[in-house]
Amino acid sequence: MKMSKMYFHTLRENPSEAEIPSHILLLRAGMIRKLVSGIYGFMPMGFRVIRKIEQIVREEMDAKGAQEILMSAIQPAELWQESGRWYAYGPEMFRLKDRNERDFCLGPTHEEIFTDIIRSEISSHKQLPVNLYQIQTKYRDEKRPRFGLMRSREFIMKDAYSFDKDWEGLDKSYEDMYDAYSRIFTRCGLEFRAVEADTGAIGGSDSHEFTALSEVGEGVIAYCEQCDFAATTERAACVDEPFGENETELPLEEVFTPGKKTIDDVAEFLNIPKNKIIKTLLFKVEDEVVAVLIRGDRELNETKLINALGIPEHLLEFADENTVKEVTGADTGFAGPRRLIGVRVIIDSELPKMKNMTAGANITDYHLKNLNYGRDYEGDIIVDLKLMAEGYPCPKCHAEVKLARGIEVGQIFKLGTKYSVPMGAVYTDENMEEKIMVMGCYGIGVSRTMAAVIEQNHDDNGIIWPPSIAPYHVIVTIVNTRDQQQMELAETIYAELTKAGLEVLMDDRDERAGVKFKDADLIGIPVRITVGKKASEGKVEYKLRKESEIIELTTSEAMERAITFCFSSKM
Ligand code: ATP
Ligand code: MG
């Protein structure tokens, strides 16, 4: 491609709405364009990257015997009502009506649609297993769309669904996908970890998230260097660490704590450690109020709470001041476990083992000391609610856990029969008995992967694409386009490299060399071959985007190096 002819517009300034490198660079390099918040279009070079990632995904999915199809993005409500998710999915789903007032949605995911196809077309064990996938645009009206392609409202996803005869079959399908995903992200040039994950709104039993390590990631993973434990912090089980279990239970005491509303305030005022205080958090779940009790030095893991309550995520909200007053009879900041009226109480599993705790008295400006479980308060549900933190004991081997930030680029789930039961996806086995299909589902954020690769591969000057997904492999920069010799040599290199199977960009624009170098860096083409004054001697400059060194080489040496470099890292 000749750059003089290419539809290509870079931005000189950093776009004000962009905060992270991938978002800034994708906009600046003219690879994406924003339509409205969270909705982007792909420009020629950006779209080439998307197609490359898609191609890698296709090759690895096909290698595992998965077959590509393409379903509609628009989906009828009835299927979602059958699975029970029309209601559970909440405001993240884009909903619409047709002219006859029939309900539809723009697919945020496709479990129902694929299950519907399979149940109507497969009836015998001989037709199983099947793994179907698609690469398609998904729609989610995210609460906080941000960071460009990272969390958008319209995005490209590869989603696959496996249907097996039994759990053993699912285990195999799942393993295959785990393997395919590892290969896909490796080929895309990502540094990633596969970690145990929560199953969230999709449901099911086991799940792994593929997390690209990055400081800007919204996800946090916990891992252990002494054993193989690795999980998202949402998922990570925490070890109870009660102490003072043999303390004598002291008499309950009401203490005056004027204006002391936070755990820190109370700890300081009463001169007690934070881990001897109970934090009481009040939530609203539709019409119900729920009190959550956890030790003062711990953070609540909302995912664990949602799972314990068995509710969809969007139904959980903090109780407002009036509600707090109503159920506690006190101002916010003085809630505690005693005498809560009409409130369900969920207790972190550590608390019942702790003695003589302090908590709000449900009276403004008062706290209670020496609260003991069983004697002074009780809970409706007792469960681990702790959010994993750096240094907490590993749930497997008790060594200290480490945390890292990351971007979730893919997730795989063992769905089991979560959809096949309500939707009646059944088959007849060898003995003509009716059996339920066992499902798995597997997603990759294709557009998010593109952003994640940039987060891991950029510098102050721009993107540094790995050759495997670069929009072009080589850029031939002509220093002076009015020089006939330079033009001719560039054309030869362009033709030869193209013939060798590389994708080549030729910067033949009538611009200063400095501008061209800047653009080449910004768009991140892995190899730059500069044709300048020494064209008359058949010499060029060779530079890798990821290195600063510029080497003078003969034309054929430069081409050979470019070919070797691109093919060896292409995998
Ligand atoms: P997240 O927790 O980040 O919202 P998710 O768990 O809801 O992700 P899945 O339903 O598992 O995501 O979707 C499969 C993949 O699609 C994710 O692993 C991610 O890479 C991608 N993805 C999900 N939501 C978005 C989004 N809003 N924008 C871009 N990619 C997304
Ligand atoms: Mg999500």
Nearest Cα residue to 233 out of 353, 401, 6, 454: 401
On whether the 253-383 domain is CATH 3.30.70.1560, my answer is no
Give the Cα separation of 103 and 3 in Å (integer). Answer: 47
Amino acid at site 446 = V
Amino acid at site 142 = E
Protein residue with its CA nearest to atom 27 in ligand 1: 151
Amino acid at site 377 = Y
For the Cβ of 151 lying below 6 angstroms from any atom of ligand 1, the answer is yes
In the chain, where the domains are located: 40-236+403-455, 253-383, 462-568
Nearest Cα residue to 188 out of 330, 70, 56: 56
Protein residue with its CA nearest to atom 12 in ligand 1: 411
* pLDDT at residue 342 in the model: 86
Structure letter (DSSP) for residue 388: P
Give the Cα separation of 123 and 142 in Å (integer). Answer: 38
* pLDDT at residue 223 in the model: 96
Ligand 1: which of 448, 450, 453, 455 to mutate, most ligand atoms within 8 Å of CB?
Answer: 448
Tokens of residue 427, six digits:
């088959």
For the Cβ of 410 lying below 6 angstroms from any atom of ligand 1, the answer is yes
Give the Cα separation of 541 and 208 in Å (integer). Answer: 46
Give the Cα separation of 565 and 561 in Å (integer). Answer: 6
Query: 27 CB contacts (<8 Å, ≥6 apart)?
Result: 11, 15, 18, 33, 34, 148
Which residue, chain included where needed, has tokens 């907490």? 392
Tokens of residue 136, six digits:
């398609």
Protein residue with its CA nearest to atom 28 in ligand 1: 151
| Ligand 1 center–CA 355 separation, angstroms | 42
| Ligand 2 center–CA 344 separation, angstroms | 28
Segment (H or E) for 418: none
Amino acid at site 562 = A
Give the Cα separation of 464 and 455 in Å (integer). Answer: 10
Give the Cα separation of 240 and 350 in Å (integer). Answer: 5
Beta bridge partners of 193: 211
CATH architecture of 462-568: 3-Layer(aba) Sandwich (3.40)
Q: Nearest 5°: phi and psi at 327?
A: -85, -20
Per the CB < 8 A criterion, the answer to whether 355 and 369 are in contact is no
For the Cβ of 108 lying below 6 angstroms from any atom of ligand 1, the answer is no
Protein residue with its CA nearest to atom 25 in ligand 1: 151
The pTM is what?
0.93
* pLDDT at residue 570 in the model: 55
* pLDDT at residue 204 in the model: 65
For the Cβ of 38 lying below 6 angstroms from any atom of ligand 1, the answer is no
Tokens of residue 467, six digits:
């050759």
Structure letter (DSSP) for residue 393: B
| Ligand 2 center–CA 76 separation, angstroms | 21
Total count of residues recorded for the chain: 571
Ligand 1: which of 157, 185, 235 to mutate, most ligand atoms within 8 Å of CB?
Answer: 157
Pairing label, strands 474-478, 527-531: parallel
Per the CB < 8 A criterion, the answer to whether 202 and 415 are in contact is yes
Per-residue burial over 206-219, b if 16 or more Cβ lie within 10 Å, else e, is bbbbbbbbbebbeb
Q: Nearest 5°: phi and psi at 265?
A: -55, -50
Query: 281 CB contacts (<8 Å, ≥6 apart)?
Result: 291, 292, 293, 294, 300, 318, 335
Report CA dihedral (224, 230, 231, 233) to the nearest 10 degrees: 20
**Rounded average pLDDT per 10-residue block, the chain, 571 residues:** 94 90 97 97 98 98 98 98 92 97 98 97 97 98 96 98 97 98 97 91 80 96 96 96 94 97 97 97 96 98 95 94 94 93 94 97 97 96 97 97 97 95 97 97 98 98 97 98 97 98 97 96 98 96 97 98 88 49
* pLDDT at residue 219 in the model: 93
Give the Cα separation of 334 and 365 in Å (integer). Answer: 7
| Ligand 2 center–CA 123 separation, angstroms | 33
* pLDDT at residue 563 in the model: 96
Q: In what order do the strands lie in the sheet with 381-383?
A: 316-318, 278-285, 288-295, 343-348, 381-383
Protein residue with its CA nearest to atom 19 in ligand 1: 445
For the Cβ of 411 lying below 6 angstroms from any atom of ligand 1, the answer is yes
Report CA dihedral (447, 451, 452, 454) to the nearest 10 degrees: 140
Give the Cα separation of 93 and 86 in Å (integer). Answer: 9
For the Cβ of 440 lying below 6 angstroms from any atom of ligand 1, the answer is no
For the Cβ of 160 lying below 6 angstroms from any atom of ligand 1, the answer is no
| Ligand 1 center–CA 517 separation, angstroms | 36
* pLDDT at residue 201 in the model: 60
For the Cβ of 181 lying below 6 angstroms from any atom of ligand 1, the answer is no
Among the bound ligands, name the one nearest to the CA of residue 218.
1
Among the bound ligands, name the one nearest to the CA of residue 449.
1
| Closest ligand 1 atom, residue 209 Cα | 18
| Ligand 2 center–CA 141 separation, angstroms | 10
Residue 478's CB: how many other CB atoms inside 10 A? 28
CATH superfamily of 40-236+403-455: Bira Bifunctional Protein; Domain 2 (3.30.930.10)
Among the bound ligands, name the one nearest to the CA of residue 158.
1
